[in-house]
Amino acid sequence: MMWLGDEQTDFFESILFQALGRPVDVLEARFLSGGDINTAAQVFTSEQLFFIKWNTAGQEGMFEAEARGLELLRKTDTLQIPAVVGHGQQQDKAYLILEYIDSAPAGPDYWEKLGQSLAELHSHTQPRFGLEFDNFIGLLPQQNTLTDNGIRFFIEQRLHPQAGLALYKGLIDKKLYDRFARLYQRLPELLPAERPALLHGDLWSGNVMVNEDGQPTLIDPAVYYGFREAELAFTTLFGGFDERFYAAYHEAFPLEDGFRERIPIYNLYPLLVHVNLFGTGYVSGVERILKAFG
């Protein structure tokens, strides 16, 4: 547990009052890992446990966008998603309050359940790619301008903004940036045309947890409607997903032949995000992919 001073207690009780409309006594709290951006805590109150994260990074709308994304995923009733209790601004801090999800060891059908449920999530569609609102991936703004063509969306709302930012920040050179243009010309022949699928948007192992029933729960989304292959590709970038997950997904919602060969193309987007967030250590991965396909 962490010792709560008057200022910390007042902050928690104030934002809980804003969210619930009634006073709640904060009893104890435990600091948790909040990632690279936020501070997070498990907060024990006179009513229930809450998960609260907050920051002073000055990214207006970050938690509002996350809350809207969580609610969008919850409405599909496909996977457990933590319920949003409230979000807002308190003095110089932005905050998000969620229900607390307890964790337990994974059940025997955990990976099969995750694969089947993700396939069901991806069955939710809409006429256009993108989303009615922009959001964030990490600290970076993520543009979701609604677009009729999926490949054009992937180029204009995913690859091009991140490549441009990397060039502006001096993380890649003009020669590498220009190679993206050659890849863009080839994408219609390289990627299959599929209808928009509702995606979690930031699906790596750190954003999947095991709930108290031993079943999967998704957190920290960057939702949009896009190519479902991009979501599956992202899960391979840093590993951590069992082969039973992929087998269950493919059985429920088969992918077109050649998906494994297309994985590097989709992973250009998260690699560029990592270049812009964490530096040039990820540039070599981008170079290898462009050399293979560009």
As annotated, the active-site residues are 202
CB atoms under 10 Å from CB of 223, counted, come to: 23
SS3 assignment, position 258: coil
CB atoms under 10 Å from CB of 149, counted, come to: 13
Determine the Cα–Cα distance for residues 162 and 74; give it in Å rounded to an integer. Answer: 29
Q: Which residues in 104-113 are b (16+ Cβ under 10 Å) and which e? A: eebeeebbbb
The number of CA neighbours under 13 Å toward the Cβ of 254 is 4
| Most distant CA atoms of the chain, gap in Å | 61
The encoded tokens of residue 212 equal 């108290």
